[in-house]
Amino acid sequence: MADHLLEVQDLHTVFPTKDGVVKAVDGVSFHLDPGETLGIVGESGSGKSVTVLSVMRLLQRPGRIASGRILYKGRDLAKASDPEMQEIRGEEIAMIFQDPMTSMNPVFKTGWQVGEPLRLHKNFDAKKALKEAVGFLHKVGIPEADKRADQYPHEFSGGMRQRAMIAMGLSTGPNVLIADEPTTALDVTIQAQILDLLRKVNHDFGTATILITHNLGVVAGMCERVMVMYAGKVAEQGPTEDVFANPKHPYTWSLLRSIPRLDAQEHEPLRAIEGLPPDLINPPTGCPFHPRCPFRIDRCIREMPPLEPVGPTQLATCWVTQAGRDLNEAAS
Amino acid sequence: MLARYVVRRVVASIPVVFGVTLITFGLLHATSGAFVPGLELNPNLRPEDIIRIRNNLGLNDPLPVQYWHWISGLLHGDFGRSLVDGSPVLRHISDRLPNTIELTITAILLGILISIPLGVVGALRRGSVIDNFFTFLSVAGVSIPSFWLALLLILLFSVSFHAWGLPWLPSGGAESAFGGGDPIDRITHLILPATCLAFVYIAIWSRFTRSSMLEVLSQDYVRTARAKGMSERRVTYLHALRNSLVPLVTLIGLELPGLVSGGAIIEIVFSWPGVGRLALERALQYDYTMVLGLTTFVALLVVVGNLLADVIYALLDPRIRYA
């Protein structure tokens, strides 16, 4: 399977702290094919962001990749030198971040910042880069792009800044666009616009997209495939439709069940997942979800299940489903 | 936009200057003592002479009238005359000012050129041996009294070097008394006092740059810059440094009045013919008009320094201009 655009194999990322080593990413594997959209879902601290920051090699100290391979077009990014990574970042793999209000440099004009990747990677001169930047600002739906390019980020609204960030990411025509919770900091109406834009970008430019979110609705509407993460590990992955219709991991099952429904009975309590997220320094034995899992069997407490095919299209780390039980049936 | 900002800042500083003149004038007249030094003690003067002199100087007028005479003179650029030697206050200041500017600007430039790289390196290698060494230097720079450092420097570079037959540096003055005044001569005189003065600046500003840089390096936009695939050097010196310099500018702008106050001790130790030394000499001689003029002058410098800092601030950070 060497023809994946990006393939992460058994990635381990750790943060040494005073209290012990935090295993933020603990054996994650996934792949991304050209032009597809992959959603990564999970609660805060599940390792979604750290996974993609590892791919970009943008981990904050003291975080580091302990082991694993990150194959991009067959090259292992985990072992790439800094200059090699600088070639990849912004040119091959672009990234946009959660908070557009703080992700742009306040002291430089927007057009200058959007055009910067072009000057860095394509050797454009300042004038040509600015012209191209204005073009991209226009493409991402910023009105009067030529005037807006001459303004500073603080003169932009949050949604407009996120559009500018997307333009910045797209300008070099990257193969992969990583969007780390791109709509979390925005109003709901603006969220929809930005997601529309990302969908359009994926469609028009054929940019493979990794979308990190904790919003399952966003994944349903945007992503062909989804990877669910829990405690730094992959819980489940597969085509979005299949995962949503027939979850193969109790965590996914609980997540889907906890979405409040509009047609719910009045005063029906919200169904939360019992218990707390695990401590990543001293994770539970066996499967990290076992203390909260309604389907737990003895084996879950002792051994961590491997990521294995469950059903025709999905992969899951669960002894219960791997043994052939169906979660929806088991619950009823 | 920027022009309007500057005009607004200038207009806003007018009441400040006016207030300062009022306070300075009031304070000096509130202090006890004869306004004309030694007049009453002069055995050659009769009491009526003293009254006549005070009348001539306008010292028997009511205070508001005196203030009016003084302030209207100021508005015409007339700071009055020294009560000790009768020459215009402004001429004393303008005689001494170039020396002080030479000394302070050199020290400030030295401070900026050395402290910023030290601060940046300290931030980038936080916790390293070199960072700890810079921390030690800063603490030393702030703790060592500048007059003591000045004396030690003189002892080493002037006295001992001379004794050892090495090329030595002059211990005082702005130029050699005989045949001096050429640029090389002035620079050799400048080295010791400027270094001494810069030492404190370096100590404070490098700490400031370091902490400001550390804060900026953890900002989201620095991560964005890295995600664009630029070199760490470009990230640091283009995207981070400019942001981290914004607060430093204010600090440096506030040093402008140090032209007179902060440098005074150094000027005295090195017999540097500057404004600070002038102020101290004249204060000891009860030269009220001179002290009044100098204080007002320093106040003006404070205002100008702040203004300058605000303008540079706005140039560095576009968000300020619209605030």
Q: Which residue of A has its CA nearest to B231?
A: A86
Structure token pair of residue B5: 């900002």
Q: Residue B153: helix, strand or coil by DSSP?
A: helix
CB pairs under 8 A between A and B: 70
In terms of DSSP bridges, do strands A208-213 and A176-180 run parallel, antiparallel, or are they unpaired? parallel
Q: Is residue A326 part of a domain?
A: yes
Quick one: average pLDDT of A140-162? 91
Indicate if A200 and A247 belong to the same structural domain: no
Calculate how close chain A gets to B315, using CA atoms only, in Å.
9
Q: Which of B224, B234, B312 to mutate to test the interface with A (most CBs of A within 10 A)?
A: B224
Domain count, chain A: 2
Indicate if A283 and A159 belong to the same structural domain: no
- The verdict on B125 touching A (C-beta cutoff 8 Å) is no
Contacts of B218 in chain A (CB under 8 A): 60
Separation of alpha carbons A217 and A74, rounded Å: 33
Q: Residue B312: helix, strand or coil by DSSP?
A: helix
Identify the domain boundary among A193, A223, A253: A223
> Residue B132 belongs to a domain with what CATH number?
1.10.3720.10
Indicate if A189 and A117 belong to the same structural domain: yes
- Are B227 and A106 inside 8 Å of each other by CB? no
Say whether pLDDT at A127 is over 50.
yes
Per-residue pLDDT band for B32 (boundaries 50, 70, 90) equals: low
Indicate if A298 and A172 belong to the same structural domain: no
Quick one: average pLDDT of B12-37? 80
Indicate if A200 and A95 belong to the same structural domain: yes
Calculate how close chain A gets to B99, using CA atoms only, in Å.
37
Q: Which residue of A has its CA nearest to B228?
A: A90
What is the predicted pLDDT for the residue at B322? 59
Please name the residue ranges forming H helices in A206-257: 216-222, 240-245, 250-257
Q: Is residue A1 part of a domain?
A: no
Say whether pLDDT at A1 is over 60.
no
Indicate if A209 and A187 belong to the same structural domain: yes
Contacts of B1 in chain A (CB under 8 A): none
Q: How far is Cα of residue B23 from the mean position of the Cα atoms in its chain?
A: 21
Closest alpha carbon to B314 in B2, B17, B87: B2
Calculate how close chain A gets to B218, using CA atoms only, in Å.
9
> Residue A207 belongs to a domain with what CATH number?
3.40.50.300
What is the predicted pLDDT for the residue at B38? 67
Q: Is residue B155 part of a domain?
A: yes
**Containing domain of residue B119, as a range?**
90-273
Look up tokens 């509407």; give the residue. Answer: A221
**Containing domain of residue A308, as a range?**
229-262+269-331
Calculate how close chain B gets to A118, using CA atoms only, in Å.
10
Per-residue pLDDT band for A148 (boundaries 50, 70, 90) equals: very high
User: Cβ(A211)–Cβ(A223) under 8 Å?
Assistant: yes
Contacts of B230 in chain A (CB under 8 A): 86, 90, 116, 120
Calculate how close chain B gets to A180, using CA atoms only, in Å.
12
Indicate if A46 and A74 belong to the same structural domain: yes
Q: Is residue B300 part of a domain?
A: no
What is the predicted pLDDT for the residue at B151? 92
User: Cβ(A278)–Cβ(A270) under 8 Å?
Assistant: no
Each residue's pLDDT tens digit, B59-113: 788 889 989 988 998 888 888 888 888 899 999 989 988 888 888 889 989 999 9
- The verdict on B221 touching A (C-beta cutoff 8 Å) is yes
Q: What are phi and psi of A228, to 5 degrees?
A: -100, 130
Domain count, chain B: 1
Separation of alpha carbons B10 and B28, rounded Å: 27
Identify the domain boundary among A199, A223, A247: A223
What is the predicted pLDDT for the residue at B36? 65
Closest alpha carbon to B198 in B255, B134, B157, B278: B255
Indicate if A132 and A167 belong to the same structural domain: yes
Q: Is residue A183 part of a domain?
A: yes
